[in-house]
Amino acid sequence: MANDKPEAGIAQKLEHGLEYFIFASRWVQAPIYVALIFAAIAYAWKSLQEVLHLLQGFAAATESSIMLGILSLVDISMVANLVNMVVVGGYVTFVSRIDFGDNGDRPDWLDHINANTLKVKLAGSLASISAIHLLKSFIDITAAATDQPMTANHEKVILWQAIIHGVFLASMILFAWGEKMQRHHVD
């Protein structure tokens, strides 16, 4: 019997060490979030280029080209918001809490974030980005329709964009419904 206790102690230490290693592995995601921040900075630079491009050709621009430029900026903004949600929400949900101290800029949505609400927010963002791309395609085709007829390739592109947008909308609705059902069962 004296031999059982040391073996049990070693097994417990091994188990504790393995559990600590598994728990600490969440930090593997931190460099991914840092890389996303640098990607967002690059995308912010792209938005400045888009504004300069829009302003340079403003005098000769058509209403459609201005609208397309503005929609490109809205698209960039939505992608940046998506990246921010993934970085902040993912870090807080899966890695570690963020100590904001007395900073009043703490986003309210962080108080209610979990993996399910993050999924719903991400699905909503993807559906919104998809809608912007679909709208840009419609405006682009409408503007081009005065010069040339729509080709079969344009029709296929818009059809696939509409199908993909529909899938994003359906996913968003299903995620929101599932999250609501889970919240209803918890309350």
pLDDT digits (tens, 9 = 90+) for 141-162: 766 666 666 667 777 888 888 8
- Give the mean model confidence (pLDDT) for residues 113-119: 79
Which range among 15-19, 158-162, 164-168 has the greatest average pLDDT?
Answer: 15-19
3-state secondary structure of 173: helix
Rounded CA-CA distance 105/111 in Å is: 13
Rounded CA-CA distance 70/61 in Å is: 12
* b/e 57-75 (16+ beta carbons within 10 angstroms → b): eeeeeeeebebbbebbeeb
pLDDT at 14 over 60: yes
- The answer as to whether 3 is a domain residue is no
- pLDDT bin (cut points 50, 70, 90) of residue 17 is very high
User: Which pTM was predicted?
Assistant: 0.72
Eight-class DSSP state of 147: T
List the domain range (segments joined by +) for residue 75: 29-186
- The answer as to whether 171 is a domain residue is yes
Q: How many domains does the chain have?
A: 1
- The answer as to whether 154 is a domain residue is yes
Burial class (CB in 10 A: 0-12, 13-18, 19+), 47: middle
pLDDT at 149: 63
- The answer as to whether 135 is a domain residue is yes
- The answer as to whether 10 is a domain residue is no
